[in-house]
Amino acid sequence: MRKPVISAAAAALALGLGLTACGSGSDSDSAKSGGDGDALVVGATAVPAGEVLAYIKKDLAEKAGLDLEIKEFTDYVLPNTALQEGELDANLYQNQPYLDDFNKAKGTDLVPVVKAYLPPMGVYSKKVTDVTKLADGATVAVPNDTTNEGRALKLLASKGVIALKAGAGTDASPADITSNPKHLTFKELEPAQLPRSLDDLAAAVINNNYAQDAGLSPTKDAILLESAENNPYANLLAVKKGNEDDPRVEKLAKLLTSPEVKKFIEDKYRGSVLPVVSG
């Protein structure tokens, strides 16, 4: 059964286990809201967001006059709740459909600042090398949050593995499947659990960051990978509404879309993550 974007139990568990600090600041330093000289506290998942931010912190931030503090999270819920509650100044890890769904579900007022990069979602399998060769009745796991599940189903539909009803949007669910010629069974799992469950599944549709965390290469290991063309799932730098014009946020937004970061992403990820550069 599909789970809502956030639950109290998930938040409590993630609060206990999911938050680690990266950088010189401590939790007590979080979300300083003073002037341009204060540290900008940014929440991120480890890969690729944390790595991109770490590169900026090490190689670009000082020259730009930006004091950057990075806090890493292992889930998709706490970076937004922490941002809404003022524990963070910004976060980097989510796409626009996810942000819209989160705001709608939780009544938050988080807004995008700039698109940073595209981490393509992929289908992974230890049983087959071609998604069209999945066995009849095979079990395929998909993320259990609304937007990522819809994204996963659309990816499978792009290859003709299933068909979705006309007009199925980013919140598509298995109930929207109109054709399933291989009689696939869909198992909804927490996104972070998907790589660990591969041995027990015919295939799993896995978010880019969790795939890379598990040592999977999207360009080498995925049996089906999203195209960058007309893709709405670029990851965003997000802030609480009203903070878009914070000079520190503007500096980070400029760095995220700089030629230096574009080159870093291209060199490090070699197609597994795609840069988005303004202009």
> So what's the pLDDT on residue 21?
37
Going by C-alpha positions, the residue among 190, 188, 171 that lies closest to residue 105 is 171
**For the chain, how are helix, strand and coil distributed in percent, rounded to 5?**
40, 25, 40
Q: Is the pLDDT of residue 279 over 80?
A: no
The residue among 48, 44, 45, 68 whose CA lies nearest residue 58 is: 68
The tens digit of pLDDT for each residue in 116-137 reads: 999 999 999 999 999 999 999 9
Q: Where are the domains of the chain?
A: 8-120+232-275, 122-225
Query: Model confidence over 3-36: pLDDT tens digits?
Result: 444 443 344 434 443 443 333 333 334 454 445 6
8-120+232-275 and 122-225 agree in CATH topology: yes
Strands 274-275 and 185-189: unpaired
DSSP string, 146-185: HHHHHHHHHHHHHTTSSEE-TT--TT--GGGEEE-TT--E
SS3 (DSSP) at 73: strand
Beta bridge partners of 188: 142
Query: In this structure, which topology does domain 122-225 adopt according to CATH?
Result: D-Maltodextrin-Binding Protein; domain 2 (3.40.190)
State the pTM of this model. 0.80
- Quick one: what percent of the chain has pLDDT higher than 70? 86
> Could you report the per-residue pLDDT of 71-110, keeping only the tens digit for each?
999 999 999 999 999 999 999 999 999 999 999 999 999 9
Q: Was domain 8-120+232-275 assigned CATH 2.60.120.10?
A: no
Sheet with 40-45: strands ordered across: 19-22, 68-73, 40-45, 90-95, 235-240, 110-118, 274-275
As a whole number, mean pLDDT of residues 252-262 equals 97
Among 87, 99, 56, 118, which Cα is nearest to 252's?
56
Measured CA to CA, the distance from residue 156 to residue 212 in angstroms comes to 20
Q: Which of 235, 234, 256, 252 is nearest to 89 (CA)?
A: 252
Q: For 30-63, what is each residue's pLDDT tens digit?
A: 454 445 669 999 999 999 999 999 999 999 999 9
State the pLDDT at residue 276.
Answer: 80
Which residue stretches of the chain are H helix? 8-17, 51-59, 61-64, 78-84, 96-106, 146-158, 208-213, 218-221, 247-256, 259-269
Considering only CA atoms, which of 140, 98, 121, 91 is closest in space to residue 4? 98
